[in-house]
Amino acid sequence: SWGMCLSNFPAICKTDDFLQLPKDMVVKLLSHEELETEDERLVYEAALNWINYDLERRHCQLPELLRTVRLALLPAIFLMENVSTEELINAQAKSKELVDEAIRCKLKILQNDGVVNSPCARPRKTSHALFLLGGQTFMCDKLYLVDQKAKEIIPKADIPSPRKEFSACAIGCKVFITGGRGSEMACPKMYGSMTLSTRNGPKLLQCSSP
């Protein structure tokens, strides 16, 4: 079944059956948001293996296959030393442009230079995600995703009203931030962990001492 293909991708991508799949099915599989893989390098290598299996007929489809890989989520060293130097990629202008864009996104991530919204930097949906609230000063102004596979901390959203000494919790796919100093204490913030959008939550009840 399709679900088994997604959940057993690490094993399936190493089989001859995978290499013989039609292009449209490979693109659908590799680009799927719920593809379960321990490392995005596995997706990249599966894409190149599929191309190389019938290089003469498939080499022109490399740009489309590269778009299925979250290139900016590859470890920086692998992206620079393996992907950017791949002869097959450098021989095609469109493929090289995709890798150059991924490198720019990677640098922004590593330099903590704002939120990166490019599709090549969007994490796949996983059953568990670790988020970190913090900033470069004593005030918390950013929501980060801890990428345990690439061993990196990725900025995902700005907190509109920086604050400290606040409370936070996760309910379903949302992260809630309430209270704290330097904030609108009556209005909690909600962050969708899948869409990473920000909006105000319902106003909290206010209590005053007699």
HEC profile of 5-57: HHHCHHHHCCCHHHHCCCHHHHHHHHCCCCCCCCCHHHHHHHHHHHHHHCHHH
- Structure token digits, residue 20: 């013989």
The model's pLDDT over 181-208, given as tens digits with 9 standing for 90+, comes to 775 544 555 555 434 444 555 443 333 4
Listed in sequence order, the DSSP H helices in 37-181 are 40-53, 55-58, 62-66, 76-78, 87-90, 93-110
- Structure token digits, residue 33: 């948001």
CA distance 77 to 61: 25
120: DSSP letter: G
pLDDT band of 39, cuts 50, 70, 90: confident
The model's pLDDT over 79-116, given as tens digits with 9 standing for 90+, comes to 999 999 999 999 999 999 999 999 999 998 888 777 78
pTM, full prediction? 0.64
pLDDT score recorded for residue 128: 61
